[in-house]
Structure 1
Amino acid sequence: MSAPQRFLERLPARSSDEPSWIAARRQAGAARFEAVGFPTRRDEEWKYTDVRRIAEGDFGLAIHADYDRARFDEQRLALDDAHRLVFVDGRFSAELSELDSLPNGASVEPLSRAIDQDAEAIGGALGRLAGVDFSPFTALSTAFADEGAVIRLAPGTAVEKPIYVVMLSRANDVPVMSHPRMLIMAGANSEATVIEHYYGEAEAANFTNVVTEVLLDRGAIIDHYKLQEASLNDLHVASIHVDQTRDSRFNSFNLNLGGALVRNDLVADLNAEGAETTYNGLFFVQGRQHVDNHTLVNHNAPRTFSNENYKGILDDRAHGVFNGKVYVKRDAQQIEAYQNNANLLLSDRAEIDTKPELVIYADDVKCSHGATTGQLDEEAVYGLRTRGIDEAMARALLTLAFAGEVMEQVKLHVIAERVERAVAGRLPERFNLADLVETAEAVQEV
């Protein structure tokens, strides 16, 4: 039996009264996945990422979402003033979710409930951006699609509190897989902050395959945070697809700390004048972790703007991949597109493969891209030590300062602090990031 067939054997029996459109899409996803199978390193888009750990795995499906409330409260972000939707191994947990006091015009609910209540609207949006042909993993996701989060904002709706979606991975006796779908539909001039948070128990060894689709109407603004700090045994594949119309703004914060094998695809289509997208990315990997970030910005219309800044910090024998492409369509004049990838190697055995790309078919544009890789400046380490800071602390501060250009864009303190502590270690006190960056830069200039 082939690996795709073995995975598809896990497909659950479907209800006879489910909408015909979702049954048809699941069948299409299963057929596509069985036909193409898992990607290999012979595929250009997967040249540096070996997914055999996924393909050879034997994963079941979770059947319940039971989890200790006290333990959950200890692990989650300290966001008490947020609208929270929680999934445990891909199963919705009503007990751990808190969705009271949503403003008029805002809806946050599990996908299963949204389909039951408004199948026609969900059917018109789900899978519109992330079709079965995008990758074998989106095909697999489509085959299993039955749960996830649906966020809908009516025109003019502003959600002041963050919308916090938690994907928790348990240490199960038998590893499980989950294929959650995220659907964000933002009406004209609406605004919200959405957090996707992936984490779990230290011994969890599960496979998460998530697809997020974001539809932004005219003037809509979404700040999207993805904080991935899964177990160092977990396998994580994700794709985010964004469709932007006139004057819309999508601000992405892709922060990766955990996972044994991680692949992120991020695609934004700027389809009308005034559309703006910003990609802020940080990946910090240790041991034998592998994190692969593939990003794509399609400038499909004139007078659109994109700015991308990804930073990687790699220690031990970790491996990072960055492949960022900006595509400027013919006649998409007067666009601006900037892309940068900088990487810091803390070990001689760490490895980074980076490939920034510009594909331009217009002539009146402002575009730039670049990539750098280096190690800590030993003179800067020495300079900090002369100020009474021990070597370990000096290296931690300089490492954190390297991440500062990305982290200073993070608007949510609770996320910034979580990431800073992971990058710099457990410092004796909470440092002000701006002060750290200023101190490190001053030392480097001496």
Structure 2
Amino acid sequence: MTTITKNKATGLFLENKSKFSTFQDLRQDGLEYLESNGLPHLKEEEYKFTQISKKIEQNISSYLRAKKTELSPADIKSNLFEGFEGDVLVFNNGHFTAELSSISSQNYTFSKLSESNPDLLGKIAKHDKDPFTALNCLEFEDGIHISVEKGKKVENPILLLHFNQANEGQVIQARVLIEVAENAEVTFIENTISLDEEAYFSNTVVEVKVSQNAHGFYYRLQNENRNAIAVNNFATDIHRDATFTSVATQLQGGMLRNNLTLNLLDSGCEGNMYGLYLLNGKTHVDNHTNVDHTKPHCESNELYKGVLADASRGVFNGKIFVRQDAQKTNAFQQNNNILLSEDAIINTKPQLEIWADDVKCSHGCTTGQLDEEALFYLQARGIGKENARGLLLYAFAGEVFEHIAYEPFREYCIQLVQERLGSNF
């Protein structure tokens, strides 16, 4: 039985289904948080530049979950980038769709969350840290659990392919839990495809545990329709001598909010996060990052770059915490931006909080325009103004792609960026 009730705290019409008892404790925690706190309001510090609750209210009329839309194997094939070899996990409006996925399960195991109900679920991405994580805890229907076996390397990347479309409802809730066992290695790629231009609200939670001496890589491409509203909460626990690298490329959407957290939980581990947001039109992208150093002898590197044109808006808020026990920490954070129009806006706030006394940490940000002297130099050597402009912008943005180790996906991202720079900027 399905009932729809309006939650007074959030203002949203939430679905309640009897089968949701599978994750009853998690759902109860999410409900209690939302009833106490609601969704972000205009005066909330973490969301003051991204009024996403207002955006949802203005653009989403049906708070029902979007049902599966029609997809065929041809749809999957046409959205694979050239040179890709690996497993494909297909999500249809947040619902994992096994019949369209290709799963070899070589060196990793795979199951639905409802089948495994792992204890780790909800322990990495905390529902009391962000209201949209709490909303996902309350509303997600099922998800997937991927576990890479101890000492194994998954040779080819695993592609998480999301197809989103408003279909008898406009709300999409997806959930993913990944465990990388000791001495294992795996690469994930996430790509989201909007099937039309109608507005929808996507709210995704991804939790990753990287165990001792393991290595995880996660590459994400966000190129959704211009009416899409998306919140992504991504949290990673990194253990002794392990490494984790995230690279995010953001090109389009109505309003995108990305919360990325790296918890460095033991000595010798390393966390890296790199991002590029290349925005035009009225696209709004907000990246909130957190790196928490809790133990000594750890390293983190963070570089986010933005190119903003037209009336687009970017927000970057990066926090690095160095706890008292985290001596010998090396932490680097940088945010660089280029504004190409008077109407483009960037709000940037790098933050560094240190309680240890033997560390090497730096953070900073820059915002400016294209170097007119460099532009003139290229034009003086026979390069047209638009081409010269594109070359300078790519030289600025391309540094991020150096951190994508999987060449076919790196080339695909470069191609998309070059097309954007050549046609719209």
Please indicate the TM-score interval, normalised by the length of the shorter structure. over 0.9
| 1:12-411 map, 5 Å | 13-15=17-19, 18-19=21-22, 22-51=23-52, 52-56=54-58, 57-58=60-61, 59-78=63-82, 80-100=84-104, 102-104=105-107, 106-109=108-111, 113-116=112-115, 118-119=116-117, 122=118, 124-170=119-165, 172=166, 174-411=168-405
CA distance in 2, matches of 1:406, 1:194: 17
Q: Is the 8 A contact 1:26 1:144 kept in 2?
A: yes
CA shift, 1:173, in A, is: 5.5
Moved more, 380-389 or 268-277: 380-389
CA distance in 2, matches of 1:265, 1:201: 25
Matched AA of 1:107: T
Partner-residue secondary structure (3-state), 2:35: helix
How far residue 410 of structure 1 moved from its aligned partner, in angstroms, is 1.6
The alpha-carbon deviation at position 301 of structure 1 amounts to: 0.3
Q: 1:4 to 1:396 in 2, by over 3 A?
A: farther
Deviation of 1:10 after TM superposition, in Å, equals 2.5
Q: With structure 2 as the length reference, what TM-score do the two structures score?
A: 0.92
Change (3 A) 1:182 1:173: closer
2: CA distance, partners of 1:425 / 1:237: 26
Q: CA deviation at 1:341?
A: 0.5
Structure-2 separation of matches of 1:275 and 1:376: 37
1:10 equivalenced with 2:15 (yes/no): yes
Greater Cα shift, 305-314 or 35-44:
35-44
**Partner SS state of residue 42, structure 2:** coil
Higher mean C-alpha displacement, 289-298 vs 59-68: 59-68
Aligned to 2:3: none
Amino acid at match of 1:74: S
Out of 200-209 and 318-327, give the one that drifted further: 200-209
CA distance in 2 between counterparts of 1:273 and 1:28 reads 32
Partner residue in 2 for 1:414 = 408
Could you tell me which runs of 5 or more consecutive residues in structure 2 were left unpaired when the two chains were aligned. Answer: 1-5
Conservation of the 8 A alpha-carbon contact between 1:188 and 1:218: yes
Structure 2 vs 1, CA of residues 173 and 184 (structure 1 numbering), >3 Å: closer, same or farther?
A: closer
Q: Distance in 2 between matches of 1:161 and 1:282?
A: 24
Tell me by how many angstroms 1:285 deviates.
Answer: 1.1
- SS at structure 2 position matched to 1:239: strand
Q: Quote the Cα distance in structure 2 between the aligned partners of 1:287 and 1:194.
A: 30
Q: Take 1:4 and 1:76, find their aligned partners in 2: how far apart are those partners? A: 41
Unaligned runs of 5+ in 1: 429-446
Counterpart position of 1:441: none
Give the stretch that moved more between structures: 309-318 or 2-11: 2-11
Q: CA deviation at 1:298?
A: 0.7
Whether contact under 8 Å (2:67, 2:167) holds in the other structure is no
Q: In 2, Cα distance between the equivalents of 1:296 and 1:5?
A: 25
State the Cα RMSD in Å: 1.9
Q: Which TM-score applies when normalising by structure 1?
A: 0.88
CA contact (8 A) 2:66 2:169 kept: no
Q: How many Å apart are 1:55 and its aligned residue?
A: 3.8
Structure 1 residues 246, 68: CA separation in 2 closer, same or farther (over 3 Å shift)?
A: same
String of CA shifts for 1:180-228, please: whole Å, max 9, x gaps: 1111111101100011212212414211101111111100100111111
Q: Distance in 1 between matches of 2:11 and 2:76?
A: 33
- Assess if the C-alpha contact under 8 Å between 2:222 and 2:250 holds in 1: yes
Contact 1:273 1:301 in 2 (8 A): yes
**Given that residues 66 and 93 in structure 1 are in contact (C-alpha distance below 8 angstroms), is that contact kept between their aligned partners in structure 2?**
no
Check 1:208–1:4 CA distance in 2 against 1; reply closer, same or farther (3 A cut).
farther
Amino acid at match of 1:155: K
Shift of 1:2: 5.6
Q: Which consecutive aligned stretches of 4+ in structure 1 deviate over 4 angstroms post-superposition?
A: 1-6
Q: Distance in 2 between matches of 1:97 and 1:161?
A: 15
Q: Is the 8 A contact 2:215 2:244 kept in 1?
A: yes
Quick one: which amino acid aligns to residue 114 of structure 2?
I
CA distance in 2, matches of 1:210, 1:5: 18
